[in-house]
Amino acid sequence: MSYLNTLYVKPNWLSLMKPRAFFYKDFLMQSSYKFAFVTQIAGIIFSASVWFFLSELFGQAVSPYLEQFGGDYFSFVLIGVAFSSYMSVSLSSFSDNIRSAQTLGTLEAMLVTQTRIPVILISSSIYSFVLTSFRVVIFLLFGALFLNLNIESANYVAALLVLGITIICFGTIGIFSASFIIVLKKGDPFRWIFINLSMLLGGVYYPTSVLPEWLKAISAFLPITYSLKGMRLALIQGLDTISIISHMAPLIIGTIILFPLSIMGFQAAVNWAKMEGSLMKY
């Protein structure tokens, strides 16, 4: 063993050295595209304004369905749209980052370092999550300050808890999605199914109570249904943490079961790709 190797730190998740390095690298790269950042913020403001005027148009008409969430459509839909972006980023960032590293040629260079591929996978998505959180905060702040978003009685601790569970749960599905990308390169069925079903049946734009019974049964299997319900109850109704956790129990149990399976599935996909020699192909 060389002299330098004796001075190396042991890989330690507590030091967060590698996730920090990925975050810093991604920040430097993204901030070098200055105009893109400005357009993103403008997009958030435009999007929030559209939902505000739509709710002004027919907000009263839909309020009977929204009693559970305070009866205000603008607050309902703004939280739905804001937090559904976590679903999009979770489902896309893992697989997109792996595919981007394959096409850029950086995956091979990272894989010969002393960093395991699950660490590369998770760390390379941190920037996307932080950026999404930043966008959600701007979205909610703009809504609260200028468009009458009603989150005065919010339970922020519960909201953060819901957010944490949501990220882990969606991240699990994102890792499954990345496994498909490792094997199939393109045409990931997981992302397609989850995004479309979640937008249609997960209660992003309307409460699931408007759905017919047989579609409600399907929506009960979608993580976003629980995640958005928990988030709305925490931010709009200000429900206590224990009640919110009980609402989210199916999501928590599902995550506990699926998270280790997703890591195992991803490792199996990587081994398959190493066997086929297709890890760096795209």
Partner 1 sequence: MTIAIEIKNVSKNFAQPKRYRDLLLRPFHSDRVSVLQNINMQIMEGETLGLLGPNGAGKTTLLKILCNLILPSKGKVMVKGFDTRYSEKEIRKLIGFVVSEERSFFWRLTGRQNLQFFATLNNMPRQLAINRINELSAIIGIESYFDQQFSNYSTGMKQKMAIARGLLNDPEILFLDEPTRALDPVSADAFRMFIKSLMKNGHCKTIILATHNLEEAKMICNRVAIIDRGRLVMDHLLNDLKIKSNNQFQYLIKATGCATDLGRILRANNGFFNILDIKDTDKEEIPACAVADILFKEDPCTAIKKIIKSGVNIISFSPKKVSLNELFKHAVR
Question: Which residues of this chain interact with partner 1, rule CB under 8 A?
Answer: 1-5, 7-11, 17-18, 20-21, 24-25, 28-29, 32, 104-106, 108-116, 120, 271, 274-277, 279-280
State how far the Cα of 116 lies from the Cα of 87, in Å rounded to an integer.
25
Closest to partner 1 by CB, 105 or 164: 105
Closest to partner 1 by CB, 46 or 114: 114
State how far the Cα of 231 lies from the Cα of 266, in Å rounded to an integer.
29
CB of 73 to partner 1, least distance (A): 42
Closest to partner 1 by CB, 44 or 273: 273
Displacement of CA 60 from its chain's centroid (Å): 31
CB of 12 to partner 1, least distance (A): 9
CB of 269 to partner 1, least distance (A): 13
CB of 70 to partner 1, least distance (A): 45
Closest to partner 1 by CB, 234 or 279: 279
Q: How many CB atoms lie within 10 A of CB 73?
A: 26
Contact 120, 224 (CB under 8 A): no
State how far the Cα of 146 lies from the Cα of 234, in Å rounded to an integer.
21
E-only strand ranges, the chain:
none
Contact 23, 130 (CB under 8 A): yes
State how far the Cα of 80 lies from the Cα of 208, in Å rounded to an integer.
12
Token pair in block for residue 45: 């403001």
Closest to partner 1 by CB, 18 or 191: 18
CB of 268 to partner 1, least distance (A): 13
DSSP H/E element including 244: helix 241-247
